[in-house]
């Protein structure tokens, strides 16, 4: 392997251009060697954003070059498994953008292939490193809330007119809709904090005229640990609720607003900037009991942690930052949520060790 891990990025849409490419380029030990995109406008953007990075026409061209040490799949959801499989079969470690796969069954197959080949495989769940979520984790693990009773997490948007694009396409293989999109983050965060789930109840809807996929959901999870997670997302939220509301038997934590790293990346700010991941004081959340609360400084956001973890996994054999099994578990929750919404009942899960 070369002194730097040579990365081939598949796709240069929002995921590739806004998230993966900047974070790869900012990570010591990684080199953004090539990007696969045949779109002329995206190629021009790549030339401006990352001079010297090669633009390739196809994944096949990337694999044939034999000049990469890591492949990142940031293409439409329906292609994730196919492209990740091809990369693994070429002996390359892989990062797959969320959702990992359109079904838990296909995700398990992909995870099994990586294990059989002895190759690192991870899923880009960047919002584990949102500053507000890192703050919630610190408070939960530090006992500031007492025993956590309910975890409320909400990710709303105001998009009254459906956008054109693959995320709005029907069909199970497309893995479209807000439950697969933002729901993948919310479910992953709940599982990461509170562990396995014994039952799922959900309401999943299509609210906007003419929409082909779900654009609104509520999912209730009952964790084996006893915590209940209530998760929401809507594309028709003209006013947003609290991003987090965590209730304990000693205190509650309430936080409004979204982590600022995505907006910073869109504006050209990169990890290492003096204010990277830092949230202004007027957006900090509050901790305590009604009538006796205090502001809690938001932990710094740290999306760069993911790719640093990939360097350690490839170089030193460390665990990948997000294990495939964790992504499989999240997909099982999403599938249970769809079943619950379809049949109007709570779905019990097998939690046998």
**pLDDT tens digits, 16-56:** 999 999 999 999 999 999 999 999 999 999 999 999 999 99
Residue closest to 177 by CA, chosen among 205, 200, 153, 197? 205
**Of the candidates 25, 15, 134, 153, which has an alpha carbon nearest to the alpha carbon of residue 76?**
15
Residues 217 and 293 reside in one and the same domain: yes
Q: Residues of the chain with pLDDT > 70: what percent?
A: 99
Burial of 192 (0-12, 13-18, 19+ CB in 10 A): middle
pLDDT at 333 over 80: yes
Position 168 scores a pLDDT of 72
243 and 137, same structural domain?
yes
348 sits in which H/E element: strand 347-348
Contact by Cβ (8 Å): 30, 24: yes
pLDDT tens digit sequence for 72-122: 999 999 999 999 999 999 999 999 999 999 999 999 999 999 999 999 999
Any bridge partners for residue 123, and if so which?
Answer: 96
Q: Is residue 328 part of a domain?
A: no
For residue 19, the enclosing domain spans 5-126+306-320
φ/ψ (deg, to 5) at 81: -65, -45
Residues 54 and 168 in one domain: no
Q: Region 204-217: what's the mean pLDDT? A: 93
Q: Are residues 278 and 156 part of one domain?
A: yes
Name the domain count of the chain.
Answer: 2
Rounded Cα distance, 346 and 20, in Å = 37
The per-residue pLDDT for 1 is: 57
- Asked if residue 169 belongs to a domain, the reply is yes
pTM of the predicted model as reported, rounded to 2 decimal places: 0.95
For 109-138, b/e burial (b = at least 16 CB within 10 A) is ebbebbeeeebbbbbbbbbbbbbbbbbbee
Q: What is the CATH number of the domain that holds 165?
A: 3.30.360.10
For residues 162 and 160, what is the distance between their CA atoms, to the nearest angstrom?
Answer: 6
Whether 343 maps to a domain, the answer reads: yes
Residue 197 lies inside a defined structural domain of this protein: yes
Residues 157 and 75 in one domain: no
Q: What is the pLDDT of residues 158-197, one digit of tens each?
A: 999 988 776 777 777 778 899 999 999 999 999 999 999 9
Q: Is residue 325 part of a domain?
A: no
What are the pLDDT digits (tens) for 50-85?
999 999 999 999 999 889 999 999 999 999 999 999
Over the stretch 316-328, which tens digit does the pLDDT of each residue have? 999 999 999 999 9
Tokens 């710094």, residue?
300
On whether both 148 and 18 belong to a single domain, the answer is no
Q: Quote the pLDDT of residue 65.
A: 87
Query: Rounded to an integer, what distance in angstroms lies between the CA atom of residue 165 and that of residue 155?
Result: 21
Find the mean pLDDT for residues 202-222: 95
| Closest to 286 (Cα-Cα) out of 241, 249, 246 | 246
Same domain, 316 and 240: no
Same domain, 135 and 107: no
> pLDDT tens digits, residue range 114-155?
999 999 999 999 999 999 999 999 999 999 999 999 999 999
CATH of the domain at 24: 3.40.50.720
Q: Is residue 327, in this structure, part of any structural domain at all?
A: no
302-322 average pLDDT score: 98
234 and 96 inside one domain: no
With a CB cutoff of 8 Å and minimum separation 6, the contacts of 336 are: 200, 202, 347, 349
Same domain for 109 and 175? no
Q: Are residues 190 and 71 in the same domain?
A: no
* Within a domain: 78: yes
Q: Which tens digits make up the pLDDT trace of 227-261?
A: 999 999 999 999 999 999 999 999 999 999 999 99
Q: Tell me, what's the pLDDT at 175?
A: 81
Q: Are residues 225 and 189 in the same domain?
A: yes
% the chain with pLDDT above 90 = 92
Q: What is the pLDDT of residue 176?
A: 83
């Amino acid at each position: 392997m070369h002194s730097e891990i040579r990365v081939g990025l598949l796709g240069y849409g929002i995921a590739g251009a806004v998230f993966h490419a900047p974070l790869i380029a900012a990570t010591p030990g990684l080199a953004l060697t090539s990007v696969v995109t045949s779109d002329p406008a995206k190629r021009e953007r790549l030339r401006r954003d990352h001079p010297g990075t090669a633009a390739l026409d196809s994944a096949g061209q990337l694999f044939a070059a034999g000049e990469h040490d890591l492949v990142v799949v940031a293409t439409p959801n329906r292609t994730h498994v196919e492209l990740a499989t091809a990369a693994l079969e070429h002996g390359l470690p892989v990062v797959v953008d969320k959702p990992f796969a359109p079904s838990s069954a296909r995700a398990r197959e992909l995870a099994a292939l990586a294990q059989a080949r002895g190759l690192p495989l991870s899923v880009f769940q960047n919002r584990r490193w949102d500053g507000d979520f890192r703050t919630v984790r610190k408070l939960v693990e530090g006992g500031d809330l007492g025993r956590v009773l309910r975890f409320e997490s909400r990710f709303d948007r105001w998009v009254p007119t459906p956008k054109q694009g693959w995320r709005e396409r029907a069909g199970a293989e497309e893995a479209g809709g807000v439950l697969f999109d933002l729901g993948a983050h919310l479910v992953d965060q709940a599982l990461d904090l509170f562990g396995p789930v014994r039952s799922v109840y959900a309401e999943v809807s299509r609210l906007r005229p003419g929409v082909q996929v779900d654009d609104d959901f509520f999912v209730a999870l009952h964790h084996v640990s006893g915590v209940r997670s209530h998760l929401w997302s809507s594309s028709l939220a003209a006013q947003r609720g609290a991003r987090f509301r965590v209730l304990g038997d000693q205190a509650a934590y309430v936080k409004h607003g979204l982590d600022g790293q995505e907006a910073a990346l869109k504006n050209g700010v990169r990890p290492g900037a003096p204010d990277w991941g830092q949230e202004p004081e007027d957006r900090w959340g509050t901790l305590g009991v009604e009538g006796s609360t205090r502001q809690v400084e938001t932990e710094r956001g740290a999306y760069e942690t993911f790719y640093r973890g990939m360097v350690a996994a490839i170089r030193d054999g460390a665990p990948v930052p997000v294990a495939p099994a964790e992504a499989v578990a999240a997909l099982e929750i999403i599938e249970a949520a769809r079943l619950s919404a379809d049949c109007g009942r709570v779905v019990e899960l097998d939690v046998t060790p």
